[in-house]
Amino acid sequence: MRVPEWIMVRPAHDNGGLERSDVVDGVAGNTRLTSATGLVLVALLAIEGVTILSVRQMITLHIFVGVMLLGPVLLKSGSTFYRFARYYTGSPEYRRKGPPSPLHRILGPVVIGSSLSLLGTGVALIFAGDQGSGWLLVAHQTCFWVWVVVIAVHVVGHLWEAAVTAWKEIRGSLSGRAATRRRWRFMAIALALVLGVGAATTLMPTAASWTNRSVEQHFRPAPRP
């Protein structure tokens, strides 16, 4: 006998607050992946924010974490774009979920665009070197201030919901296909982090003109009176 679809996608509230072992549908899985990846990004961005306070002294960490962000940012952008695409192409499940609020529908593309622009100009600066930065540095700094404004609104609007959803993802009781799908989501996040670390490790030698300049300035002897 075929199980009615509404049973498959209905959130369960029994079992002591833990979810039943019913299949977590694609909409819920997408939401959980986006939320968990968002919290990973918040943690990495907090580290990156600390480096900005003294970027000359912490330029190596600033560059490494900045490049490392590429993996999780691309994953979160992909999961967000997938939800938008499924909703606007008329998927019944995503239609039932409904769209984000009007503000977040407007901010979503701006958040993705400013994030990719910020990271893109940062990577371009690595290849340009400190001698050829010029307009790229101005573009990177401009992208940063635009990004700060939109990401602040985005985080304030989503942080609590993302934290609750991610906690359910970690602590929820799942089995069968639902548990398998959760493992795939964890693997996707882990792979994004591995790719980010790999990209950062690969590009660090190219960033030598920036990191070496920081070391030289730090250890340069003070001028004699």
How many alpha carbons lie under 13 Å from residue 102 in its C-beta half-sphere? 0
Query: Is the Cα torsion angle 111, 149, 134, 72 positive or negative in sign?
Result: negative
CA distance 218 to 74: 35
Identify the CA nearest to 92 among candidates 33, 26, 148, 153.
26
Is residue 155 exposed (0-12), middle (13-18) or buried (19+ Cβ within 10 Å)? middle
pLDDT of res. 118: 93
CA distance 201 to 159: 30
Within a domain: residue 182?
yes
Within a domain: residue 40?
yes
Within a domain: residue 174?
yes
Within a domain: residue 216?
no
Query: pTM here?
Result: 0.77
Within a domain: residue 14?
no
Tell the residue number behind the tokens 């039932």, with chain if given: 96
Within a domain: residue 215?
no
Within a domain: residue 120?
yes
pLDDT digits over 52-84, tens only? 989 889 999 999 999 999 999 999 999 988 988
pLDDT digits over 116-154, tens only? 999 999 999 999 888 766 888 899 989 999 998 888 888
Within a domain: residue 68?
yes
DSSP string, 87-104: HHTT-HHHHHH-PPPHHH
Tokens at 85, concatenated: 């695409």
Q: Which domain holds residue 122?
A: 24-162+169-210
CB atoms within 10 A of CB 164: 11
Total domains in the chain come to 1
pLDDT of res. 103: 76
The contacts of residue 121 (CB under 8 Å, 6+ apart) are: 136, 139, 140, 143
